[in-house]
Amino acid sequence: MLTVHHLGVSQSERIVWLCEELGIPYELKRYDRDPVTRLAPPEYKALHPLGTAPIITDGEVVLPESGAIIEYIIGRYGDGRLSVGPDAPNYADYLFWFHFANGTMMPRQMRMMGAQPGAEETPMQRFMRERAESTWDLVDQRLGEAPYFAGDELTAADIIMVFVLTTMRAFAQRDLAAYPNIRAYLKRIGARPAYQSAMVKGDPNMTPALS
Ligand SMILES: N[C@@H](CCC(=O)N[C@@H](CS)C(=O)NCC(=O)O)C(=O)O
């Protein structure tokens, strides 16, 4: 049985959402963060030496890392649904946005964790802030061109990107006022029954940050 080990308020919400979109059978195991450190609890860390969420188990397989898990589930249980094949005209868009999420956007937002808006900056801090801002500009521009990251349909590129635009803002604040296309996109995502049920199952006490 495919088991999704979900750490509360974390990137593993992506995997719960993926399973709900695909409508595949899975078991959900929830773990709360340590109340003091806010890190994963020891029983989560014991699942795999990496110790970070998400992690899935599936028979003998123990797999961390969002991108790897998404590809594994789509390949093994999703019949390729929510991915874009190499012959499709939007294949490159799909690949770019899928990898941009954790390859560029997440690291740039993580460097902004703890930053105080309006505080005096060193040249390096200013550089980091501008680089973080440029990713939001790029995302807003893309969502003005297409309803979903890879084009007309929701794909795994959306599944991996949405956390960065929503729950991640609990850790690195970002006002969406300047990004009308992101706001419209998040409204579309929030209206999806699979997204709604994933959020209720994974984080019943959290209001998704969709605006
Ligand atoms: N690149 C990894 C990052 C995983 C990661 O850093 N997860 C965070 C949650 S958002 C985590 O596990 N934090 C708790 C901890 O490190 O104990 C992935 O996408 O799976």
Cis bond upstream, residue 54 (ω within 30): yes
Count the residues in the chain: 211
Strand partners, 28: 4
pLDDT value for 114: 84
Question: What would the DSSP string read from start to end of 116-155?
Answer: PTT----HHHHHHHHHHHHHHHHHHHHHHH-SBTTBSS--
Model confidence at 116, pLDDT cuts 50, 70, 90, reads confident
* Residue 50 Cα to ligand 1 middle (Å): 9
Residue owning the nearest CA to atom 2 of ligand 1? 65
Report the alpha-carbon distance of residue 198 to residue 184 in Å, rounded.
20
Rounded to an integer, the average pLDDT of 157-161 is: 98
Is-contact 155 95, C-beta < 8 A?
A: no
Residues with CB under 6 A from ligand 1: 7, 10-11, 39-40, 51-54, 64-66, 102
Mutate to test the pocket of ligand 1, among 4, 9, 10, 69 (most ligand atoms within 8 A of CB): 10
Alpha-carbon dihedral angle through residues 72, 30, 19, 27, given to the nearest 10 degrees: 90
pLDDT value for 104: 97
pLDDT at 118 over 90: no
* Residue 166 Cα to ligand 1 middle (Å): 15
H or E stretch covering 56: strand 55-58
Residue owning the nearest CA to atom 6 of ligand 1? 52
Rounded to an integer, the average pLDDT of 179-183 is: 98
Rounded to an integer, the average pLDDT of 160-175 is: 96
DSSP conformational letter for 88: S
